[in-house]
């Protein structure tokens, strides 16, 4: 069973969980603005690693206050390392969490033992965001798609509710998997619209500044990008991100979508082991 922790950050606390034994690994969930969903991944790691995961700001039981920007999310990740008492750790990030992990590694390389980015939003503008939106809409039957788009529009315009946004996500959910018809049920999750919208505004600002394109070529941390061939974020975005980091490796998994540890169990563990062998 995981041990629960509360870690002080600017504006409140982040709620975290610790499980397993061995070298430390911090897992960054995707979203942004989603509740933490990576518990199933811990099971393939915790026999050889101490795994820490935390609810990012925006949703309880962590602080729900902002600001919701890259700088704050990176500062939160560093505060988690400090609060746990870790000088360095392996970092695994999924989706938006993989994008955040690249910012963390680029700005604080001395805090990472290694980086595993699992089907991330890429480092080079727009990171695959437009492709993801297009591909998801192509994979959903028209009768559901029109409702999903309207629910999402209302939520993002401030006219709807988090429940509207989650209903939209539930309609799009099968499109994240390969094959779509075999998608597991969407987990019971929550969504913070202010965190989602604010963080994406900041992502776009950092793209315009070229932050990752400038900093990642100087990164000297063992890095591995694990990509789904059938993900709505096409693998070329992860491959281009890996190409920025000296010595970074990548693998594209056939018959695999966005949630790689659910569709190819053990693959994230193998990527982490390969990174650990170089640390």
Range of the domain at 164: 131-182
Q: Per residue in 16-35, pLDDT tens?
A: 999 999 999 999 999 999 99
Both 165 and 199 in one domain: the answer is: no
Whether residues 98 and 11 share a domain: the answer is: yes
Query: pLDDT band at 156, cuts 50/70/90?
Result: low
Average pLDDT estimate for 4-10: 96
β-strand partners of 20: 50
Structural domain tally of the chain? Answer: 2
Q: pTM value? A: 0.96
How many CB atoms are closer than 10 A to CB 51?
26
What pLDDT, in 10s, does the model give residues 248-264? 999 999 999 999 999 99
- 22 & 148 share domain: no
CB 102 within 8 A of CB 110: no
- For 153, the enclosing helix (H) or strand (E) is helix 142-156
Same domain assignment for residues 100 and 195: yes
DSSP 155-201: HHTTSS-HHHHHHHHHHHGGGGSSSGGGPPPPP---B-HHHHHHHHH
Q: Are 81 and 144 part of one and the same domain?
A: no
A 10 A CB-CB count for 26 gives: 24
Q: Are 210 and 98 part of one and the same domain?
A: yes
- Averaged pLDDT, 43-61: 97
């Amino acid at each position: 069973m995981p041990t629960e922790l509360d870690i002080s950050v600017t504006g409140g606390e982040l709620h975290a969980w610790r499980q397993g034994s061995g070298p430390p690994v911090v897992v960054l969930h995707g979203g942004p603005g989603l509740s933490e969903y990576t518990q199933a991944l811990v099971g393939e790691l915790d026999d050889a690693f101490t795994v820490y995961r935390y609810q990012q700001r925006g949703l309880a039981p962590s602080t729900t206050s902002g600001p919701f920007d890259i700088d704050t999310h990176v500062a939160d990740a560093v505060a988690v390392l400090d609060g746990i008492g870790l000088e360095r750790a392996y970092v695994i990030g999924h989706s938006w969490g993989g994008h955040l992990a690249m910012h963390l590694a680029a700005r604080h390389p001395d805090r990472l033992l290694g980086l595993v980015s699992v089907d991330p939003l890429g480092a080079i503008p727009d990171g695959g965001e437009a492709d993801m939106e297009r591909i998801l809409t192509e994979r959903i039957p028209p009768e559901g798609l029109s409702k999903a788009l309207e629910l999402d529009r209302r939520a993002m315009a401030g006219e709807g509710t988090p429940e509207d946004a989650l209903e939209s996500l539930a309609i799009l959910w099968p499109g994240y998997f390969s094959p779509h018809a075999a998608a597991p049920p969407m987990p019971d999750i929550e969504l913070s619209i202010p965190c989602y919208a604010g963080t994406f505004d900041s992502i776009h600002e950092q793209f315009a500044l070229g932050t990752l394109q400038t900093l990642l070529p100087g990164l000297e941390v063992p890095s591995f990008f694990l990509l789904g061939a059938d993900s709505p974020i096409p693998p070329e975005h992860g491959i281009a991100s890996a190409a920025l980091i000296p010595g970074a490796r990548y693998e594209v998994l056939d018959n695999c979508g966005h949630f790689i540890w659910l569709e190819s169990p053990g693959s994230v563990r193998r990527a982490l082991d390969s990174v650990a062998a170089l640390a």
